[in-house]
Amino acid sequence: QVQLVQSGAEVKNPGASVKVSCKASGYTFTGYYIHWVRQAPGQGLEWMGWTNPKSGDTKYSETFQGRVTMTRDTSISTVYMELNRLTSDDTALYFCTRGSPVGGSRWPSDYWGQGTLVTVSS
């Protein structure tokens, strides 16, 4: 069965960086885009960007452009999301989700990771 398993909770100081991992299983890793979505406490869902695990191509929300990097390691079926220059506004639950098939029709996020809580506090 399809699974996305994310790394554990992180506590960071303002100005630091955080790198969250998302390990995929149960399907062909390079066959589907991976998106990242975050949710601040008590708030709605915010789309951050996607990575193509096959090519490594990325597309980021303008909100995070210049501060986020999404990468992948095909040897271990894992994608990463690194966010720099953290502030308290970045305190949120970060989700990885599976999106469209690579080279296929557009498709929403059908599988979600369990979420990784990132807390930014001094």
Partner 1 sequence: DIQMTQSPSSLSASVGDRVTVTCRASQGISTYLAWYQQKPGKVPKLLISAASSLQSGAPSRFSGSGSGTDFTLTITSLQPEDVATYYCQKYDSAPRTFGQGTKVEIK
CB of 110 to partner 1, least distance (A): 5
In 10 A of CB 96, how many CB atoms? Answer: 30
User: Which CB, 14 or 57, lies closer to partner 1?
Assistant: 57
- In terms of Cα–Cα distance, which of 73, 113, 91, 72 is closest to 14? 91
Least distance (Å) from partner 1 to the CB of residue 64?
A: 10
Cβ nearer to partner 1, comparing 66 with 106: 106
* Interface positions with partner 1 (CB under 8 A): 35, 37, 44-47, 49-50, 59, 61-62, 95, 99-100, 106-110, 112-115
How would you classify the pairing of strands 116-120 and 10-12?
Answer: parallel
Determine contact, residues 98/4, Cβ cutoff 8 Å.
yes
Query: Which of residues 18 and 93 has its CB atom nearest to partner 1 in the complex?
Result: 93
Shortest reach from residue 14's CB to partner 1, in Å: 26
